[in-house]
Amino acid sequence: MFDEQRATRRGLAFGAAGLLALAGCSTGDAAAEDQVHVDEDAGVEALQVEVLETFDHDATSFTQGLQLAEHPEHGTVLYESAGQYGASDVRIVDPGTGDVLASQDLPAEQFAEGLTLTDTDLWQITWQEHTAHRRDPVTLDVLDSVQYEGEGWGICYDGEQLVMSDGSATLTFRDPKTFEATGTVDVTLEGEPVFQINELECTGGQVWANLWQTDQIVRIDPATGEVGAVVDATGLLPAEEAGGADVLNGIAAAEEDGTFYLTGKLWPKLYLVEFTPAA
């Protein structure tokens, strides 16, 4: 069914100067005061979400990382990292049904965060345990574990280097083989720092990032750190389905250029969307 659907498809938590620094925890849609409004003369694209298709998603998954890929046994799948202490895992998911096809638990004392696939490996990071696991993308087995400084939030691979967030306004570049840091870039919008950068997706030479505690996604130029677009996904999960759900988190480039899979922490739905100019 998923293959048939795919074949028929066509196709901010910020600093000063009116930008908000966020703290605390919320569920469902982020509060209106936490959202960033892009001025028409800011030179930044204001985008909205157009839903193309809706799929079931495991509502017990505290989604921290999401990536679409081909698996030799299961075909087109989503790799997903689910967080929380005592419940963290890495899983392979059927995007059409939400079924978990395979999974491996993390130690109870580790809180899973983002994950990404390189040409040969699956990297999964942890929140405050300073540990990244290099996994076999077929079996999910841990091949190696390395240590890093600071917190781990999101991670993606641009074809040459890993890009990692830690909740600050800085992205760190890492070697995809050793995980050693190779450089950083500060993320800004019109010269102001952008904080709370969370789950990441590298595609088309850009980095798309969820902003924790908001219903917004930003597009970042990794060469300069400049934000070129802000996506408002407010209301993506309908209110009648948001009971028990946490914030928007989880972005994966889909099969067609310009389309993405979006979900959230403890969300019962996964959405195939495209980003269009805001009305």
Per-residue pLDDT at 5? 36
Q: Which of 228, 264, 273, 279 is nearest to 49 (CA)?
A: 273
Is 197 within 8 Å of 153 (Cβ atoms)? yes
Alpha-carbon separation of residue 278 from 18, 24, 31, 208, 228 (angstroms): 20, 28, 19, 17, 14
Per-residue pLDDT at 30? 46
Give the C-alpha separation, 97 to 152, whole Å.
29
pLDDT single digits (tens) 20-32: 333 333 334 444 4
Q: Which CATH number fits the domain 2-277, given the four candidates 3.30.43.10, 2.40.128.630, 3.40.50.2300, 3.40.50.150? A: 2.40.128.630
Per-residue pLDDT at 36? 53
Q: Which of 160, 223, 159, 225 is nearest to 195 (CA)?
A: 225
Q: Where are the domains of the chain?
A: 2-277
pLDDT-derived band at 240 (thresholds 50, 70, 90) equals: confident
- DSSP-derived letter for residue 3 is H
pLDDT-derived band at 38 (thresholds 50, 70, 90) equals: low
Give the C-alpha separation, 146 to 124, whole Å.
11
Element (H, E) at 8: helix 2-8
Of 219 and 10, the one with more pLDDT: 219
Alpha-carbon dihedral angle through residues 189, 194, 199, 201, given to the nearest 10 degrees:
20
pLDDT single digits (tens) 95-120: 999 999 999 999 999 999 999 999 99
If you average pLDDT over every residue of the chain, what do you get?
87
Residue 160 phi, psi (nearest 5): -130, -40
Full DSSP string of 113-155: EEEEE-SS-EEEEESSS-EEEEE-TTT--EEEEEE-SS----E
- Could you tell me what percent of the chain has a pLDDT over 70? 85
The two three-digit tokens of residue 252, written as one number: 């994966």
pLDDT single digits (tens) 129-175: 999 999 999 999 999 999 999 999 999 999 999 999 999 999 999 99
Of 251 and 242, the one with more pLDDT: 251
Q: Which of 255, 238, 62 is nearest to 272 (CA)?
A: 255
